[in-house]
Amino acid sequence: MRIVFDDIKESLAPNFKGGEKSFASRVYSDGKNKMMKGRLEPVASIGLHRHEGNCEMIYVLEGSGKMLYDGGEERLSAGDFHYCPDGHEHSFINDGDSDLVFIAVVPAQ
C-alpha cells in the first residue's frame, strides 16, 4: 500500500505531550498502527512520555535535534534512527536552526 504523506492534511498539536510550541504532523492510521511524517520547527519539542503497550520508531529526514531517552541524551540528524521500546520514555527537541522532519511509526496503537 502506498502512502503519500504530502497528500494528508498537516495538523498542529500545540504543546504536544507537554512539549514546547507545536508539533506538526501528517498521520495515517489503519486503526491499529500509526505512521506519521512529523515536523518540529526550531525550539519546538515533543514532551517526555512513556510508551506503554507499544513502541515507537523514528527516522530523521531533515534537520537535527536531541532525543532525551531514559534519562540520557542522544544527538540525531538526517539519516539517524531512534527506537523507543515498550516501557521506555523519550522526548524529541529541535535545538537546531531549521525544521526537524522525521517519519515515526507506532505499531499496535
Per-residue pLDDT tens over the stretch 58-83: 999 999 999 999 999 999 999 999 99
In whole angstroms, give the CA distance from residue 98 to residue 84: 24
End-to-end CA distance of the chain: 19
Query: Is the pLDDT at 106 greater than 90, yes or no?
Result: yes
Band of pLDDT at residue 108, cut at 50, 70 and 90: confident
Q: How many Cβ atoms from other residues are within 10 Å of residue 63's Cβ?
A: 20
β-sheet with 45-50: strand ranges across: 45-50, 89-93, 64-69, 72-77
- How high is the pLDDT of residue 109? 61
Per-residue pLDDT of 12-58, as tens digits, reads 999 999 999 999 999 999 999 999 999 999 999 999 999 999 999 99
Longest dimension (CA), the chain: 37
